[in-house]
Amino acid sequence: MRRYAPLTKLILTIIISIWAILFDSPAILAGVAGLQLLLLAITRVSTTVYKGILGLVMFALMLAVMQYLFGATISLALVTGLRMLNMTLIFIIMLASTRISDITAALVKQCRIPSDYAFMFTAALRFIPDFLEESKAVREAQSCRGYSSRGNAFKRMKSYLTVVEPLVLRAVTKSETMAMSLELRGFGSQRQQASLAHVALHGRDYILISLTTLVTLALIINKLQPIGF
């Protein structure tokens, strides 16, 4: 997957998401999910990605159970869980196999998205580790002042407010500083934005895009005029 251009992976993400909507058989959806896991294994990603996927699988399972408990059939419950899993799996594969700057460059250069919006995407991802670290620091600081995450769900939610409040304030301050520093580093100037990223499409990209697009078109046609898929 790493050899494919970011745009190809972006398109593939959209295509797999469409497939997840078009298919309504749990077996086929499970097959697509299996295929994606195989793709992930070939891509060789870090163990943290697998941990994240395990969390996703648990969430999908929970979603299916909830659906079932609220009156859906087993088949529909499974389809809902698998759809969510398929849509998120491909997104994770894309993120794990592509540099964020390359995704941003593809969004700007090839999808013609204004660089400001594409930058927002990069910046949001860049600050996730910082945000988690700060959340840990605030939790620790608040535990010294009596914060506890024990008790029933309502109690926990109420006490978590003491963590959320300073966290939000810090995030706002950080974003203000960041906005100013961006100005100081020439972001948003009228000059033509350059990029170190290489995002050009190659033969293999065109083949993959064409094949998956054709399959998707066939699936859509089949959905509109069933011929037996």
The residues, any chain, with a CB within 8 Å of residue 146's CB and separated by 6 or more, are: none
Verify binding: residue 2, another protein, rule CB under 8 A: no
Interaction mask 64-83, another protein, x per CB under 8 A: --------------------
Q: Work out how close the CB of 119 gets to another protein at its nearest, in angstroms, rounded to a whole number.
A: 8
Spell out a b/e string for 162-194, using b for 16 or more CB atoms within 10 Å of the CB, else e: bbeeebeebeeeeeeeeeeeeeeeeeeeeeebe
By the 10 Å C-beta count (0-12 exposed, 13-18 middle, 19+ buried), 89 is classed as buried
Nearest to another protein of 159, 195 (CB atom): 195
Verify binding: residue 227, another protein, rule CB under 8 A: no
Whole-number Å distance between alpha carbons of 217 and 93:
23
Of the candidate residues 144, 153, 184, 224, the single one contacting another protein (CB under 8 A): 184
Q: Residue 5 in contact with residue 201, Cβ under 8 Å?
A: yes
| Candidate ranges 27-35, 55-63, 84-92, 118-126; the one touching another protein (CB under 8 A) | 118-126
Determine if residue 23 is left, alpha or beta; phi over 0 gives left, psi from -120 to 50 gives alpha, anything else beta.
beta
Whole-number Å distance between alpha carbons of 81 and 39:
20
Of the candidate residues 185, 203, 225, 226, the single one contacting another protein (CB under 8 A): 185
Q: Work out how close the CB of 196 gets to another protein at its nearest, in angstroms, rounded to a whole number.
A: 5
Q: Work out how close the CB of 223 gets to another protein at its nearest, in angstroms, rounded to a whole number.
A: 39
Q: What is the dihedral of CA 154, 159, 160, 166, to 10 degrees?
A: 150
Whole-number Å distance between alpha carbons of 97 and 5:
10
Nearest to another protein of 1, 123 (CB atom): 123
Nearest to another protein of 62, 125 (CB atom): 125
Interaction mask 194-213, another protein, x per CB under 8 A: xxx-----------------
Return the DSSP state at 192: P
Verify binding: residue 46, another protein, rule CB under 8 A: no
Residue ranges binding another protein (CB under 8 A): 99-101, 119, 122-123, 125-126, 129-130, 173-175, 177-178, 180-189, 191-196
